[in-house]
Amino acid sequence: MNLPNKLTLIRMILTPIFLVVFLAEFIPYHYFLGLAIYSIGCITDFLDGKIARKKNIVTVFGQLADPVADKMLTTAALLVLMDAGLCSLYVVFIVLTREFAVSSFRLVAGAQGVVIPANIWGKLKTISQMVFTILIMLLMSLASAGILPDTFPLVTLSNALLWITAVLAVISGVIYIVDAVKTIDFNKN
């Protein structure tokens, strides 16, 4: 197994660990530890694709598992933020609907031997989601440690940032589906 695929597997393994640690109130500094684990997962996402393309070791496993690992990690983060009251259910629904729709089209295209590349909007959505989530979790950690004042508008800021991600999810999803409809043969058996 090559290094990019190992990084993808590490991200998959880190996801439930992140979720448990972040929510485990009995662990001292659990928000900070969860933030560190999530950040490591985000770094593996950046590195696996970069290494695979640079060394020309793109594999079928990587092409299929990498997006799944990304969705596992980012969905877990949205769920912990929703649990903390820092993310709207509607944002989670919009982002997950986009992910399922794009994944469905990606699977159909792949079965036909067609690759529909990610568009810049999808990359912006993923980057914004990861960066905003890290920022929100950092602020949440600082608030829990008493470093931020009680009047800091964490809920408002968090929801505003995550709504930006939701809008990017809709834009990128629509563009991806329009490109897929032009490319996929829907009458093929």
DSSP assignment of 174-185: HHHHHHHHHH--
CATH number for the domain spanning 52: value is 1.20.120.1760
* 188: in domain: no
* 189: in domain: no
* 107: in domain: yes
Full residue range of the structural domain in which residue 68 is found: 3-183
* 32: in domain: yes
What are the tokens at 140? Answer: 């949440």
Question: Which amino acid makes up residue 105?
Answer: F
Per the structure, the count of domains in the chain is: 1
* 54: in domain: yes
What are the tokens at 62? Answer: 């990587």
User: What pLDDT tens digit does each residue of the chain (189 aa) get?
Assistant: 899 999 999 999 999 999 999 999 999 999 999 999 999 999 999 898 889 889 988 887 887 888 889 999 999 999 999 999 999 999 999 999 999 999 899 888 888 888 777 789 988 999 999 999 999 999 999 999 999 998 999 999 999 999 999 999 999 999 999 999 988 888 876
